[in-house]
Structure 1
Amino acid sequence: MAAFDGCDERTGPEGRPCYPITDGNGHLPCIADTAESVRLGRAGALLDPAADLLAGRGVTAAQLRVLAGRMAESLRDVHRIRESRGARFANARTTFGRLNES
């Protein structure tokens, strides 16, 4: 995703997280779902190579730093997705509750 106006797909101009606000329909949620899927796939793809690297002998400090960096990045992404999805689920529950009260 392209950055613009000092923002990227993760943060706004002040460095705070930005989340799409939609009704769940249309093009934007599709883009968000695709970006989340890619990030979750990257995180999952790290698991086997990490296990192999950690099981081997002669692992260098540089290799561990690279692995830790990639794992931290993936963990940040997964956490951000959880926060975003959690906010969307909370909104859906609130909206659903209001609909049931009508």
Structure 2
Amino acid sequence: MIVRIMGEGQVKVADSRLPELNKLDDELLAEMEGGDEAGFRRTLGALLDAVRRLGEPLPDEALEPSELILPGDDATLDEVRQMLRDDGLIPG
């Protein structure tokens, strides 16, 4: 799966890693629903770090279609809320 982190670039993440990312996505969703700003900030950072750690960065000149777009580290709770799908940021 090709993932774009807004303001950074694209990363190729193996589909086998999605359950690990979905766990963080579920935590993020729960913190957002509870209005836990500190938890939201911490878990968003952990989710993005996991994508960076588990994925392989694509070259800047690569123009692959992104299957998933994630907010950057500095995204606000409201900005992320607007990006949410029914099951969070990451499908599944």
Q: TM-score range by the shorter chain?
A: 0.3 to 0.5
TM-score, length basis structure 1: 0.33
TM-score, length basis structure 2: 0.35
Bigger proportion of residues as helix = 1
Bigger proportion of residues as strand = 2
Structure number, greater radius of gyration: 1
